[in-house]
Amino acid sequence: MGDKIKVGISSCLLGEKVRFDSGHKQSTYVNKELRDYFDFVSVCPEVGMGLSVPRPTIRLMSDEERIILVETKDASKDYTDGMMQFTRGKVDELKDTEMCGYIVCAKSPSCGMERVKVYSNGHASTDGVGLYTKHLMETMPWLPVEEDGRLNDPILKENFISRVYGLNDFYKSMDGDPTAGKIVAFHSRYKLTLMAHDPASYKELGRLVANQADYSLKSFIKLTVSD
């Protein structure tokens, strides 16, 4: 079948018993459909930062100045700095690999991609993002990231898988030595896909490619991949 595509994943989705209650959230789709094609890189930020299994539950809180990660029943126990220290180190490590996607656990205060509860003055909003995943997406904006539950939606699933394979194709096309010519060729192959999904982005990337002489190679590659 050839080399598998490297994809990051929340450990609990693989069936690893790393959750606060010593349980897991094994994803049938991940384990039955994707394992044959993806080489999963398992990460549990909470265990990675040193929390035990089992452990007290934690949640996001707003202290008016920033979002913090605290123990649910004792907000004086603040895990924000420990989580961010682990997160920065792990994401820096992943950034240097040819990772092509990431599947995260929904609603988790560390891994949730959207609609994570944030508590403030006894009330909860659902506009938060898990601390680990937020930093991951900000540091690697080119990386396809999706939540396990959203992969049950056929359209979201197709979009995610297409992006993962597209990024894998990009890395293979660059072959460890990116050049402006290789990027232009890659862009040309994917122009219909880009046009179908986001005409505005297609036009923006087209202008960038057409004016590549205005940029250094390093800047051109960074702008093209980030966009």
d(CA 10, CA 44): 6
Percent of the chain with pLDDT over 70: 98
Q: In the chain, which ranges are continuous DSSP H helix?
A: 28-29, 45-48, 80-95, 131-139, 154-174, 180-189, 191-197, 199-210, 217-226
In eight-state DSSP terms, residue 22 is S
Quick one: tokens of 175? 């072959």
Digit-coded pLDDT (tens) for 154-184: 999 999 999 999 999 999 999 988 888 888 8
Q: What is the mean pLDDT of the chain?
A: 92
Report the DSSP beta bridge partners of residue 69: 60
**What is the distance between the alpha carbons of residues 38 and 21, in angstroms, rounded to a whole number?**
28
Q: What band does 226 get if pLDDT is binned at 50, 70 and 90?
A: low
Its pTM stands at 0.91
As to burial, measured by CB atoms within 10 angstroms (0-12 exposed, 13-18 middle, 19+ buried), residue 7 is buried
Residue 47 has pLDDT above 90, yes or no: yes
What is the CA angle 138-127-143, rounded to 5? 25
Pairing of strands 102-104, 5-10: parallel
Residue carrying the six token digits 């890395």: 171
CA distance 170 to 10: 24
Distance, in Å, from the CA atom of 149 to the CA atom of 42, rounded to the nearest integer, reads: 18
